[in-house]
Amino acid sequence: MSKITFLGAGSTVFAKNVLGDCLQTPALQGFEIALFDIDHERLQDSANMLNNIKKTSESTSIIKTYTDRKEALRGAKYVVNAIQVGGYDPCTITDFEIPKKYGLRQTIADTVGIGGIFRNLRTIPVMLDFAADIREVCPEALFLNYTNPMAVLTNVMNTHGGVRTVGLCHSVQACIPELFKSLGMDKEGVKAKIAGINHMAWLLEVTKDGVDLYPEIKKRAIEKQKEKHNDMVRFEMMLKFGHYITESSEHNAEYHPYFIKRNYPELIDRFNIPLDEYPRRCVEQISRWKKMREDLVNDTNLTHKRSHEYASYIFEAIETDVPFKIGGNVMNTGLITNLPREACVEVPCLVDRNGVTPTYVGDLPPQLAALNRTNINTQLLTIEAAITRKREHIYHAAMLDPHTSAELSMDDIVAMCDELIEAHGSWLPEFS
């Protein structure tokens, strides 16, 4: 019996999408779906929910829960990762509140920036533990990483974990639908080429019937910027740098040095930037969970419609050898020629029985590659800190981050990092 293992299965809503899709995919019938989470109550919630979907879908797959991670992984053909180390309380709160004392404000803090750095530092050791288990009990497994910070964690699993890994993010799939809806344009028949790094990939080409749509997109964007809306940062970046970015404006506001600035507070209002957005979302999600739990876990007639998540389509393409195209995060083996080979990049990939095969992109426009490199610098130094356990590399990663370095002095950055290390306590390994 083939096996799909889901690590972080207590993420019940996300598990519904990914594994509910698998239960409805003909090529995946008869699989064991192995669920693992350190929160045993949420683990059982997800199992109950999936068994309800299994019944209404008439799936022949078997749902099993595990409290032993290695046993959950043993013999797996596919592994899906959706963990969050440290959760909202205490770690996300720490990632926001301590930088705020130094005057450094954030929106999401899960990719780069000071929040992204520390989320990486507490997650990488756990991921490397996963990798050790995988090498022992399912060395041929394909590891699908959905956990942020996407680029760094996918990089680590490939280069230091020795595990065949592809990182998956929703932003590539959502890029064209969201942009065209925002501008009142019809997305049917549109062809697009997207590449870059996770959360900062670029809509390089967008055409319909051979016609370049960028002139019309930019014309409409100029008009839309005259009134407040929720995507003002991305539109401003497109109008200044020439290309639209895949990830949302609240994310990109903190990836660059241009938008969240103490000396220019009017920028926050001008570009409609939602500071502290991620903690606010966490509080809302926690408060909604009781009702959602009743609807998801205890509804024995629960149904599911296959979503747009990539996972089941990847598994299906491998099982059936019918090709499927994705936007995947993979190591830069010469795929984007003006980004570092050590980086993890987001490029079009073909999936079939051979697995995930990335496609060659070549050079990005120079200004786009330059913006990517500003974030790659921090990503690579964060990996260096995590692998060497040297505190100085945490400082280097933070001092090279565009937003952090635009706001704080080097002395304040070092002091802030030291305070964050102390506050995280046992969530972090020892750094010398």
Q: Which residues participate in catalysis according to the annotation?
A: 170
Give residue 27's identity as a one-letter amino acid code: A
Q: Which residues, listed in sequence order, are joined to residue 166 by a DSSP beta bridge?
A: 144
Question: Distance between CA atoms of 9 and 409, rounded to whole angstroms?
Answer: 41
- Give 341's DSSP letter: T
User: Residue 75 carries which side chain, given as an amino acid letter?
Assistant: G
The H or E element containing residue 324 is strand 324-331
**Residue 430: helix, strand or coil by DSSP?**
coil
Cα Rg, the chain, nearest whole Å:
21
Amino acid at 118: F
What whole-number distance in Å separates Cα of residue 7 and Cα of residue 10? Answer: 8
Rounded to 5°, angle at Cα 265 from 261 and 268: 85
Residues 6+ apart with CB under 8 A from 332: 339, 340, 341, 342, 343, 344, 345
Q: Are 154 and 166 in contact (CB under 8 A)?
A: yes
Between CA 23 and CA 59 the distance in angstroms is 6
Helices and strands (DSSP H and E) totals, the chain? 17, 12
Output DSSP code: residue 26: G
Q: How far apart are CA 47 and CA 34, in angstroms?
A: 9
Q: Which residues contact 206 (CB under 8 A, 6 or more apart)?
A: 176, 190, 191, 192, 193, 212, 213, 214, 217, 244
φ/ψ (deg, to 5) at 70: -65, -40
Sequential DSSP letters for 45-103: HHHHHHHHHHHHHT---EEEEESSHHHHHTT-SEEEE---SSIIIIIIHHHHHHHHHTT
Do 431 and 394 form a contact (C-beta atoms < 8 A)?
A: yes
